[in-house]
Amino acid sequence: MAVHFHEEDLPAGVLASGPVAVDTETMGLVTHRDRLCVVQISDGNGDEHLVRFAPDSAYHAPNLCAVLADPARIKIYHFARFDLAAIEHYLGVTAAPVFCTKIASKMTRTYTDRHGLKNLIQELLAQDISKQQQSSDWGGPVLSEAQRDYAASDVRFLHRLMAILQERLEREGRTAMAQACFDFLPTRARLDIAGWADKDIFSHEG
């Protein structure tokens, strides 16, 4: 298992075929304001790849974008809504089809309100990850080893979590409903970008 660090794009041919786990690190939680700094990606075979973008980046990453936009590859996220918005806004691609472990958790682990990635990994995989670097400065000139390890850990377990959660969705008869939610996520992300992030357009109120 190794963490590979790249600047501005993913090298060609470093990922095996099949689903990829994806995550992003940004300067904050407001997509228009807080630039995309890092995209993490893994094919689930033991290595993680981190692609960092400079403050003046043109976000021209053809190899990475080809993987993210590939309709034959499932992209596995934890809270896909945010990552999809960041990727579409900065890289200009819709990174779908989607499997979101957070949504799958909420639809299957109804016995708890703890659906963070750390909680999922602890319960379903009996492992522990540190979230200490979650709010660190991802836009600095150097990413520390702690930041790199944290970023890699955010995609390291997603393939295994997806397999478990797929079984639970099937067991509870919620696979089709979950898939419909996943299919809607790119549109939900576009609504966020367009200004409806804090509005429930399905609500009767307003």
Per-residue pLDDT of the chain (206 residues; tens, 9 = 90+): 799 999 999 999 999 999 999 999 999 999 999 999 999 999 999 999 999 999 999 999 999 999 999 999 999 999 999 999 999 999 999 999 999 999 999 999 999 999 999 999 999 999 987 766 666 899 999 999 999 999 999 999 999 999 999 999 999 999 999 999 999 999 999 999 999 999 889 888 86
d(CA 78, CA 161): 10
pTM: predicted TM-score of the whole model, two decimal places: 0.95
Q: What is the dihedral of CA 41, 45, 46, 51, to 10 degrees?
A: -20
CA proximity to 64, closest of 12, 139, 3, 2? 12
Question: Can you give the pLDDT at residue 120?
Answer: 96
- Beta bridge pairs of residue 25: 38
CATH architecture of 3-196: 2-Layer Sandwich (3.30)
Domain boundary assignment for the chain:
3-196
Burial 152-166 (b: 16+ CB within 10 A, else e): bbbbbbbbbbbebbe
